[in-house]
Amino acid sequence: MALIAFYILSTIVVLSALFVVAARNPVHSVLWLILAFFTSAGLLVLIGAEFLAMLLVVVYVGAVAVLFLFVVMMLDIDFAELKQGFQNYLVVGVLVALALLAEIGIVAAAATFGGGTTFNANPGAATNAEALSRVLYTDYLLLFQMSGIVLLVAMIGAIVLTLRARPTVKRQNIAQQTGRKRKDAVELKDVRPGQGI
């Protein structure tokens, strides 16, 4: 059962990864990418890493890919021009791809025939989340905190590079707006017919 599911899911992953590259429309590429992410989450569920699977969906599909989609949709991309570039770099690209494939092959062969290492698949906790958090907040606290610093630096960087104080832009003072009372805005006038205010 799990084996059938594995083959189905991995076929989908590989095919959708292929379509990410092959699709003519960049939006379609991103959609295939999302499918690839999503199906990879399914593979993670199959090996019992349901927490990681959910994180993959939440972080990559739910946040990162949405931004990709946003950017790709808003960019006006010239398909003909894109394809031209593709032709130019085709040879180099194929060579690099072949080299990487060969490397993976060599490594995989070495791993299969040369022994390799076994990993502790059972961390000794009831659920994934518990197992992860037990080490994340104790043994790997340093890394956890430093990852926070990395993200903080990224955030500072994004703000530094994009936030501009434009003196010409009119800004709204929300507190003032919400603090406005009825008597500040509405005045009742007794208008006599035919006379106006």
Partner 1 sequence: MENLFQWGGGMWGGIGLAVLQIVTFVVILLVLIAFLLLFDRKVWAAVQLRKGPNVVGPFGLLQSFADLIKFVLKEVIIPAGANKTVFLLAPVITLTLALVGWAVIPVAPGWVISNLNVGVLYLFAVSSLGVYGIIMGGWASNSKYPFLGGLRSAAQMVSYEVSIGFVIVTVLLLVGSLNLSDVVENQAGGIWNWHAFAFPTIFVMFPMFVIFFISALAETNRPPFDLPEAESELVAGYQVEYSSSPYLMFMIGEYVSIVLMCSMLTILFFGGWHMPLPIPGVDGLPEWLLSLGGLLVFIVKTTFFFFLFAMVKAIVPRYRYDQLMRLGWKIFLPTSLVAVVIVSAYVTFQNASGRQEFDRLDADSSGYLEAPELAAVILPSGVDTDNDGKVSLAEYRDRARS
Partner 2 sequence: MDFLADINNAIPEAALAGFGLVGLLLGAIGGDRTAGLIRLLAAVALVAASVLTAYQFQHPGAADGIAAFASATSPDGLYRVTMFTLFAKTVTYALAALALLMSGGFLKTSQMERYEYPLLIVFGSLGAGLMLSANDLMTLYVGIETLSLSSYVLAAFRRDSLKSAEAGLKYFVLGALASGLLLYGSSLIYGFTGGTAYAVIAAAPISVGLTFGLVFVVCGLSFKASAAPFHIWTPDVYEGAPAPVVAFFSTAPKIAAVALLAHVMFVTFGPHEEAWRQIISIISAASMLIGAFGALMQNSIKRILAYSSISNVGFALIGVAAGVGNGAASVLVYMTLYVIATLGMFGGVLALRRGGRAIDNVSDLNGLVKQKPGMALGLLVLIFSVAGIPPAAGFWGKLQVFQAGLQADMTWLVLVGALSSVVSLGYYLRLVWAMFMKPSAGELDKTDISIGIIVLVTSLLMFPILTVTIQMLLETAARASGG
Q: Which helix (H) or strand (E) holds 98?
A: helix 79-113
Phi, psi of 48 (to 5 degrees): 90, 10
Contact indicator for 137, 144 with CB cutoff of 8 Å: yes
Phi, psi of 188 (to 5 degrees): -90, 130
One-letter identity of residue 131 = A
- Furthest-apart CA pair in the chain: how many Å? 102
Chain residues 29-58 in contact with partner 2, contact rule CB under 8 A = none
Which C-beta is closer to partner 2: that of 88 or that of 138? 138
- Min dist. Cβ of residue 17 to partner 2 (A): 17
Which C-beta is closer to partner 2: that of 117 or that of 195? 117
Chain residues 122-161 in contact with partner 1, contact rule CB under 8 A = 124-130
Using CB under 8 A, pick the residue from 13, 20, 44, 61 that binds partner 1: 61
Distances (CA, A) of 12 to 76, 78, 190: 29, 29, 74
Chain residues 75-104 in contact with partner 2, contact rule CB under 8 A = 103
Contact indicator for 19, 95 with CB cutoff of 8 Å: no
Instruction: Give the total of residues touching partner 1 (CB under 8 A).
Output: 29
Chain residues 83-102 in contact with partner 1, contact rule CB under 8 A = none
Phi, psi of 85 (to 5 degrees): -60, -40
- Output helix, strand, coil percentages for the chain, rounded to the nearest 5: 70, 0, 30
- Min dist. Cβ of residue 106 to partner 2 (A): 6
Q: Which does 2 bind (CB under 5 to 8 A by kind): partner 2, partner 1, none?
A: none
- Min dist. Cβ of residue 181 to partner 2 (A): 31
Query: How many residues are there in the chain?
Result: 197
Which C-beta is closer to partner 1: that of 185 or that of 197? 185
Residues making contact with partner 1 (CB under 8 A): 1, 25, 27-28, 31, 34, 50-51, 54-55, 57-58, 61-63, 66, 69-70, 73-74, 124-130, 172, 174
Residues making contact with partner 2 (CB under 8 A): 103, 106-107, 110-111, 114, 116-119, 135, 138-143, 145-147, 149-150, 152-154, 156-157, 159-161
